[in-house]
Amino acid sequence: MKNITTIKGTYDLLPHETEKWREIEDFIHEYMHLHGYGEIRTPAFERTELFVRGVGEETDIVTKEMYSWTDMDKGGTGLTLKPELTAPVVRAYIQHNLGGKSPLQRLYYIDSLFRRERPQKGRQRQFNQFGIEAIGSPHPEQDAEIISMAYFFYQSLGIDSLSVKINSIGSSHIRKPYLALLTNSLTPEIHRFCNTCQTRIDKNPLRLFDCKNDSCQKLLDEFAPMIFDHISDEDKIHFESVVNLLTTMKIPYTHDKKMVRGLDYYTRTTFEVTSSALGAQDALCGGGRYDKLVETLGGNPTPAVGFAAGMERLLLTMSDSDDSDENSTVDIYIAVLFEEAIPVAMVAADEIRRTKGMSVMVETLRRSMKAQMRESNKRKAQYTIIIGEDEYRQNQALIKDMETGQQDNVPISDLSGYFSPDDHHHSDCDCCENSD
């Protein structure tokens, strides 16, 4: 029978990897807390309509990347695994009237999402993002706060070759005349574009910029007017204020007039933080302002700005020196050489964990003494407790300090009394930091 394996574009995280993930997640929670952002969690699936309306009908996500199905129990409602996290956050913002509770909501999330893309390095079908949304402020300092949070996040993790790409695609009212101009400029050449671009030109020509086809990108360079050259004076002032604030904060940026980002909801600022350490998929995170989305999804007109950052890509930039141990480690390994001693070993293990906060593993494979000592070494145990038949009969166990080689005989009934909480030697865990 053929083995059942993960679906293409999805993967398992094994214990030696989850440790690294948890460290990053802890760092994110701490970082967001330092900036006064509160965590929000939304469901794994939503009504399809949320993404069609929110992300945009002609976007890559909605036209070809969503995992959708019809829920017959609900009278045929279209449902979709979330392919994007801003629309659900805005849905929750409206549903819970968060705007009524505070004029500015600063929210963040860490979450999984699902897109039917062509899997490659740094691009999966189920992947993880963390991100922030500041809903309520129209001012450039809010854009600057968001961009600086993204930039300094990566900087504080020691990731180098960082750069911010920024652009403005203007307010929503300049979109219509610009799109007409774009269509007029590209129509004579449209037969030279790919099939997708050819169908998009009539429906949403801005989405031609998302095309991953090199020859389409070259044609755009040659024939497309840039949206930045058609934004309003107010939009330009907003953009200048944002980049001036970046300069003040010593954040290097380049103005990329071609960057429109692949979602319909953006207005004014769009940006990406990139690292040349990443290769072809060089965007660590992307975001921008979306002043119309709350209204589009049925809320009161409310300006907003945010970013979403790929967790996998972050870990890719950090995993160059991945020599992490495949096995989880423990403070104490209890080697049991005699079947009748198993229950007392298990009771003692529990008591040590509970009263001393040390991690303990008990042998459950009934192996030879030699194999159990090897296991203890592999787990980097600081102590091995050995319970043999003779010792057991005398209510004794041998405790061996694996570093110094010192051995002590201790009554089995009081194994936990041997250890003081200071013995617990996890590196950088909260319980150690807090114990005085």
Contact residues toward ligand AMP (CB under 6 A) are 84, 115, 117, 122-124, 127, 129, 283-286, 308-310, 312-313
CB 89 within 8 A of CB 40: yes
What minimum distance in Å lies between the beta carbon of 337 and ligand AMP? 49
**394 three-class SS:** coil
What minimum distance in Å lies between the beta carbon of 118 and ligand AMP? 9
What minimum distance in Å lies between the beta carbon of 83 and ligand AMP? 8
Q: Measured from the CB atom, is 242 or 259 closer to ligand AMP?
A: 259
CA nearest to 430, candidates 355, 357, 379, 351: 357
**131 three-class SS:** strand
CB 28 within 8 A of CB 37: no
Q: Measured from the CB atom, is 54 or 310 closer to ligand AMP?
A: 310
Q: Measured from the CB atom, is 314 or 412 closer to ligand AMP?
A: 314
CA nearest to 422, candidates 373, 357, 375, 370: 357
What minimum distance in Å lies between the beta carbon of 67 and ligand AMP? 13
Cα 391 from Cα 411, distance rounded (Å): 9
* CA torsion, ordered 175, 150, 55, 293, to nearest 10 deg: -60
CB 252 within 8 A of CB 163: yes
CB 197 within 8 A of CB 60: no
What minimum distance in Å lies between the beta carbon of 127 and ligand AMP? 4
Distances (CA, A) of 340 to 83, 105, 334, 362: 55, 60, 14, 14
CB 271 within 8 A of CB 167: yes
What minimum distance in Å lies between the beta carbon of 205 and ligand AMP? 20
What minimum distance in Å lies between the beta carbon of 84 and ligand AMP? 6
Chain residue whose CB lies nearest ligand AMP: 310
Residues ≥6 apart with Cβ < 8 Å to 187: 201
